[in-house]
C-alpha cells in the first residue's frame, strides 16, 4: 500500500466526517510517530511532513555519522563510508537525512497504521458530535423517525446522526411511524462507553419555549420575555410572559389574531391547552391570573410558608381545580405557592363535611373527591356521575356506591 493510498483514505474520512485540515494533519503525524516509537523505541530522529492537499506524506530519518565499525543502532547512526556515498563533504559527527520509504514498513505495519487511523478518526468524530450537541442543549431540532421501539424512538438528524427520544420524554398522545418527521428539543448529551448519547424531549418546558420563539417574532426578538413555563404534557400548560414595551400586549402577541399563533403550538403539542398570562411581581394578582378561567373572590397569603388560601364561589371551584387537579397544580408551580381552595359565601348548615363519612367510605376515596374540590356531601352529589368518573380515578361502581351513601344522609 503506497502512502498516497493512505492519504486518499484519510481524505475520504474528511469528506464524510467534516474534520478540519489541521486536525487531520496532526492525527496522521501522530499515528506515524506512534508506529516509529514501537519500531525504533524513539521518534526523536524522525521528521514527518504531511501535505493533505496533495495527498502526500514524507518521512525522513536523521542519522549521526560515526566511524566505520562503530554503528550501534543503524536506525539512528550511519557509518562514515556510507555517508560519503551520499555526499562526499560529510564529516563525522554531522547528520545525514534519509527518506524512509513506505515499502520499508512492511505490509503488516501499513495495515496496522490504517486501522489506527480509522480508530482515531472515529474517536474524533464522536468527540465532535458530543461537542456539537452539547452546545445545542435546549434547541429544537427536526429529525426523521428511523426506528420505533417500545421504550424509545431512534431519530436521525440531517447528517444521519442517531438521536434518542425516550417514551418518558414523549407527549402521552404522541404516535410516530417510521419515516415521519418529528420536532423535539435537545434535552441532554451523555457519554456512554466513549459514545455520545443524545436525548431528545417533547415534554420539557424548553420545548414549549422554543415553539413560542418560532411562532412569535416578538419573543424571538426579545421584545417579549417568557418568565416561566409549567406543563402537564399533553394536558395543560401555563406560560407567564412580560413585555418591557408598553405598546406591546404580551398575551395578545403570543396568542395572535383569532389565536393564529397559539394554534400552531397547540397542534404540535397534541392539543395541549395553553394558558398565556401576564407576569407580575404582585403575588396575589399572579395567583389570580394563574387560576384562570376561575374567578377568585379573595386570597389570603402566607408569605413565610409560601401558602395561599384562595376563596371562590362554589360554581368556580371546579374551574380553579381543573380536570384531574391540573389547573391548580400548575398554578401552584407557576406562582411558587401552595394553593388551598375554599368555598366562599354562606355555609349550608344542612350540608355535611366528607370527613363525617370516614367510617363508611375509604379514606383514599375521600382524598380523590377532595382533590377535585369536593369537601362536602352536597358538593359531590351536585356533580354528574360521568363528571366524577372523568375527573377522578374512581370506578363507576364506586362512584354510584358513594353517591348512595351521601344521598342517604339527606333522606
Q: Do domains 3-132 and 143-201 have the same CATH topology?
A: no
The single-letter DSSP state of residue 181 is E
What residues pair up with 343 in beta bridges, in sequence order?
Answer: 312
218, HSE (Cβ side, Cα atoms, 13 Å): 20
Whether pLDDT at 17 is above 60: no
Average pLDDT in the 222-232 region?
94
Please name the residue ranges forming H helices in 43-160.
80-86, 107-134
Is-contact 34 66, C-beta < 8 A?
no
| Percent of the chain surpassing pLDDT 90 | 37
Whether pLDDT at 152 is above 90: yes
Query: What's the pLDDT tens digit per position in 87-135?
Result: 888 888 888 877 777 666 666 776 777 777 777 777 878 888 898 999 9
Distance from chain centroid for Cα 163 = 10
Whether pLDDT at 244 is above 80: yes
**3-class DSSP assignment, residue 201:** strand
The pLDDT value recorded for residue 340 is 87
The pLDDT value recorded for residue 347 is 47
Pair type for strands 181-192 and 162-166: unpaired
CA distance 100 to 167: 57
Is-contact 147 155, C-beta < 8 A?
no
What residues pair up with 273 in beta bridges, in sequence order?
Answer: 236
| CATH dotted code for 143-201 | 2.40.50.140
Residue with cell 409560601: 306
**3-class DSSP assignment, residue 175:** coil
The pLDDT value recorded for residue 203 is 95
Residue with cell 382524598: 367
Return the CATH number of 3-132, one of 1.25.40, 3.30.70, 3.40.630, 3.30.1480. Answer: 3.30.1480
The pLDDT value recorded for residue 230 is 96
- Transcribe 277-335 into DSSP letters: EE--S-HHHHHHHHTTTSPEEEEEEETTTTEEEEEE-HHHHHHHH-GGGHHHHHHHHHH
Domain ranges of the chain: 3-132, 143-201, 354-410
Query: What's the pLDDT tens digit per position in 27-70?
Result: 777 877 777 777 777 777 777 777 766 666 777 878 888 888 78
Amino acid at each position: 500500500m503506497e502512502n498516497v493510498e493512505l492519504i486518499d483514505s484519510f481524505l475520504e474520512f474528511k469528506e464524510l466526517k467534516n474534520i478540519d485540515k489541521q486536525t487531520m494533519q496532526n492525527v496522521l503525524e501522530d499515528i506515524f510517530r506512534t508506529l516509529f516509537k514501537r519500531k525504533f523505541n524513539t521518534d526523536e530522529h524522525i521528521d514527518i511532513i504531511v501535505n493533505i492537499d496533495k495527498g502526500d506524506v514524507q518521512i525522513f530519518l536523521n542519522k549521526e555519522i560515526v566511524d566505520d565499525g562503530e554503528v550501534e543502532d543503524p536506525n539512528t547512526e550511519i557509518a562514515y563510508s556510507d555517508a560519503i556515498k551520499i555526499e562526499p563533504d560529510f564529516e563525522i559527527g554531522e547528520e545525514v537525512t534519509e527518506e524512509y520509504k513506505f515499502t520499508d514498513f512492511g505490509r503488516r505495519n501499513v495495515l496496522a497504521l490504517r486501522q489506527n487511523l480509522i480508530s482515531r478518526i472515529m474517536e474524533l468524530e464522536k468527540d465532535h458530535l458530543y461537542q456539537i450537541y452539547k452546545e445545542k442543549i435546549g434547541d429544537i431540532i427536526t429529525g426523521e423517525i428511523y426506528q420505533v421501539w417500545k421504550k424509545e424512538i431512534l431519530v436521525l438528524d440531517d447528517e444521519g446522526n442517531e438521536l434518542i427520544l425516550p417514551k418518558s420524554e414523549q407527549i402521552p398522545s404522541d404516535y410516530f411511524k417510521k419515516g415521519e418527521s418529528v420536532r423535539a428539543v435537545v434535552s441532554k448529551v451523555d457519554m456512554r462507553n466513549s459514545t455520545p448519547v443524545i436525548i431528545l424531549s417533547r415534554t420539557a418546558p424548553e420545548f414549549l419555549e422554543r415553539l413560542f420563539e418560532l411562532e412569535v417574532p416578538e419573543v424571538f426578538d426579545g421584545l417579549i420575555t417568557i418568565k416561566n413555563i409549567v406543563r402537564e404534557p399533553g394536558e395543560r400548560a401555563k406560560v407567564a410572559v412580560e413585555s418591557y414595551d408598553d405598546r406591546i400586549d404580551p398575551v395578545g402577541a403570543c396568542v395572535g389574531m383569532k389565536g393564529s399563533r397559539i394554534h400552531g403550538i397547540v397542534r404540535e403539542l397534541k392539543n395541549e391547552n395553553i394558558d398565556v398570562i401576564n407576569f407580575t411581581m404582585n403575588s396575589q394578582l399572579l395567583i389570580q391570573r394563574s387560576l384562570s378561567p376561575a374567578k377568585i373572590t379573595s386570597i389570603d397569603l402566607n408569605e413565610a410558608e409560601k401558602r395561599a388560601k384562595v376563596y371562590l364561589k362554589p360554581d368556580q371551584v371546579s374551574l380553579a381545580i381543573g380536570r384531574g387537579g391540573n389547573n391548580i397544580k400548575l398554578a401552584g408551580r407557576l406562582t411558587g405557592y401552595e394553593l388551598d381552595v375554599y368555598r366562599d359565601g354562606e355555609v349550608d348548615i344542612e350540608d355535611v363535611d366528607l370527613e363525617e363519612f370516614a367510617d363508611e367510605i375509604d379514606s383514599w376515596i375521600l382524598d380523590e373527591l377532595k382533590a377535585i374540590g369536593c369537601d362536602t356531601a352536597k358538593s359531590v352529589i351536585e356533580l354528574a356521575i360521568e363528571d366524577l368518573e372523568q375527573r377522578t380515578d374512581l370506578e363507576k361502581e364506586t362512584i354510584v356506591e358513594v353517591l348512595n351513601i351521601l344521598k342517604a344522609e339527606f333522606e
